[in-house]
A and B are shown apart, each in its own frame.
Chain A
Amino acid sequence: MKFYVLDPEVAGELGKNTVMDNSVHPPKVSRLHYELDAWLGDDLIQSFPCYLATERLRRKLETASVNGVAFAPVEFCLSANFKERHPSKVVPGFAWLKITGCANKDDFGVEADGRLVVSERALELIKQLTLKHCDISLR
C-alpha cells in the first residue's frame, strides 16, 4: 500500500490554554487550545505537533473506520484578526486528531519528527473534501 506525508495548512496557532510537555520533542500536548487566524478552507489543519479535522472530515473518517486515529475535543476559538476580517464567515467545528497508529502501517501515523503519514485510502477520503493547501509527498 502507498503512504503519503502530509503537511497540512497552518490556519492558526496554539492558544495560551494549551498544556504541553516541552521536555520531549515533539512535545506532548495534553490539552489543546487552537486559535484560528487565517483559514484558507481546508478540512485538515495543523499547528505542530497537533492535527485537526473539521467535523465533516471526522464523520467521514469514522464512517470509513480508518485506523490509527482517535478524536478528542479541542478548545477552539477565532482570533480577533479573523473576526475582524471575516465577520460573517461560518466556521465549522473542529476535532483534534490524536494519532495513535504507526507510520507506514496504519491509515494514520506520525514520523519521529511529528510529520503526518497517511495511507492512500485515508488520503482519498480526505481529498473528497477540501485539501488545497496541504503539501503532499509520496513516502
Chain B
Amino acid sequence: MKTKRALVVVCLLILCAMGVFFWWKTQPQPTEAYIQLSELPGVSQKVLAAQNNLLRVDEPILFNRKTGMALFVVEILSRKNFGNERFLTFGGDAKSLQNFVAEITLVNAGPSRAGSVGEGMAQGVESLITGLWELLRHPIDTISGLGSAAYGLAIYVKDTPIAQVKADTSNLVNAYYVNEACVITDSHGADYFELKTDSGRAAIHNETNWKLGGQAVIELATFLVPFSKLKYAKEVGQVGKKVAEAANTARRLEKVGAISKEAAKFSRVGSLFPRMVGKMTDTLSRLKDAAVPRRFVPPVAKLGKAASADYKLTFFKAHPELEGKVVVHHAVEQQALTRYPGLLKEEELHSLENLRGIPNSQNADLHLSQIRKEWNEFYRNNPASGMTKQKLLNKASEIDRRYGGSFTPSLI
C-alpha cells in the first residue's frame, strides 16, 4: 500500500516537473534581441579571429530570432584596399560574415582595386560578346573547336532574326560570365551573390577576365543553341522547380536592390549552370529577410542651439511627416545636465542636431533600452572630474554609427 502511494507521489512530481518545463519552454521570447558576436548562432572561429584584425563588427548586434537574420554594422580595418567603402551595414547570418571575411581576404591578397570599381565585368562581357559575335559571323575559322555543336549552331543562326541572335548572345554571355565569376568566388571561400564591396567585385571580375581565354568563346557557342531554346520556353516551370524558385526570389530581390540585375538574369538561365544556380538559390533563400547592404560615412554628433525647450516641437517642425511615427530621443542624454552640471546648456541639449527619431514601428523600447545601457556603461567608466563636452559627443557619434541605420531620418 505504502509503495503504491509513493509511486503515485513520484508520478505526480514527474508530471509537475514536466508541466513546469513545458511552461518555461513555451514562454514567449522577444523576437528581436541585442547579442554579442560570439553569441551569433553558427559563428565560426575564422570570423571571431578576424574581429578587430580584418574588420570590426560593432557589438552588440541586433538579431531577429524569428528570421535568424542579424544586422551588422561593420568597419573594414584594412583601409588602403577599400578606399571609401570602409563602413558598411548589411543583414545576414553567420555565413554572411564568413563570406565577408573571405571577401576582405581576397581583396587584400591582390593589388589595391579602390577606384577600379565596376569596370571589370563590363569589360569582360564586352570582350566575350565581341568574340562570340565574330565566331557567329565567321564560323568557318573556328568551326573545328565546336565539334558536333556546329550543326545546331549553324541552324540556329540561319533560322533566327539577327536582332534576336544579338539579344541572345548578350544575355547568354552575361549568364556565362556570372557563372565563371561564381566559380572563382567560390574558390576563395566567398559567395558571389553576397559580395558586399565594389572592391570585392572588382577583384573577382579582374580574375574572371584573366581566366576567360579564347576557349570561353567556343564554350559559349555550344551553349547558345540550348540557351535559345530555353529562352523562348514560355513556362519558367519548364526549367525545373528549383530554378523557377530562384528566378522568382531573384526578381524580388533585384527590385529592392539586394542583388544586381546580372544575378537576376543569371537565375533565369539556371538550367545551363545548375551548380551555381543551386548555390545562388540557397544564398537567396537564406537572405530573403536580410537588410540590403549599404555603404555609409560615419555620422559625427554635434550640438546646436534650440529656440525652445520643447524638443519635440523642434524635431517635428523639421520633420512634420514623422509626427506620431517616431519616438524623439536625445543623442547626448538629458541626464547629462544632472550628471555633469555646468558642462552643457539646455539649449544645446534640446537642439535639432542632438535629436534622433526612433520609429515606433520597430521595437522602440528595445532600441532605447540598449542605447541607455551603452550610456550607462559610459557613465560608469568616466568620472565627472574628467568629463568634457567632446567626450560626450564622441560617445554619441559611436552610438549614432551603431544604431543610426535604425533611426528616422537614417543617419547612415
Contact = CB atoms under 8 A, between A and B. Distances in A.
Contacts of A14: 335, 338-339
B366 A22 contact: no
Contacts of B379: 48
Interface residues on B, range: 20 to 34
B335 A13 contact: yes
A81 B338 contact: no
B338 A16 contact: yes
B30 interface: yes
A13 B333 contact: yes
Contacts of B30: 40, 132
B4 interface: no
B182 to A, nearest CB: 42
A106 interface: no
A121 B411 CA distance: 45
Contacts of A38: 364-366, 368-369, 372
A40 B341 contact: no
Interface in A58-115: 80-81, 84-85, 113-115
B161 interface: no
Looking at chain A's contact residues, the main secondary structure is: loop
B334 interface: yes
A11 to B, nearest CB: 7
Contacts of A49: 380
Looking at chain B's contact residues, the main secondary structure is: helix
B20 to A, nearest CB: 12
A15 B369 contact: no
Interface string B301-342: 000000000001000000000000001110001110111110
Contacts of B375: 10
B369 A115 contact: no
Given A25-B385, A38-B369, A85-B360, A10 B337 contact: no
Contact of B369 (A7, A11, A26, A84): A11
Contact of A22 (B340, B364, B369): B340
B372 A22 contact: no
A25 B334 CA distance: 20
Given A22-B340, A22-B384, A27-B384, A13 B369 contact: no
Contacts of B333: 13
B369 A133 contact: yes
Interface residues on A, range: 20 to 34
Interface in B351-379: 360, 364-366, 368-369, 372-373, 375-376, 379
Contacts of A132: 30
A9 B380 contact: no
Contacts, number: 75
A46 interface: yes
B355 to A, nearest CB: 12
Contacts of A23: 384-385
A33 to B, nearest CB: 8
A37 B367 CA distance: 12
B111 interface: no
A47 B364 contact: no
A48 B369 contact: no
Nearest to A27: B384
B383 interface: yes
Nearest to A38: B368
Contact of B341 (A13, A22, A47): A22
A47 B380 contact: no
16 contacts: A10-B369, A13-B335, A15-B335, A15-B338, A18-B338, A22-B339, A25-B384, A27-B384, A38-B366, A38-B369, A39-B369, A40-B30, A40-B369, A85-B327, A85-B360, A113-B380
Given A7-B373, A14-B335, 17 more contacts: A13-B334, A13-B372, A14-B339, A15-B335, A15-B338, A16-B337, A22-B339, A22-B340, A25-B384, A39-B369, A40-B365, A40-B369, A48-B380, A81-B329, A85-B365, A114-B380, A133-B369
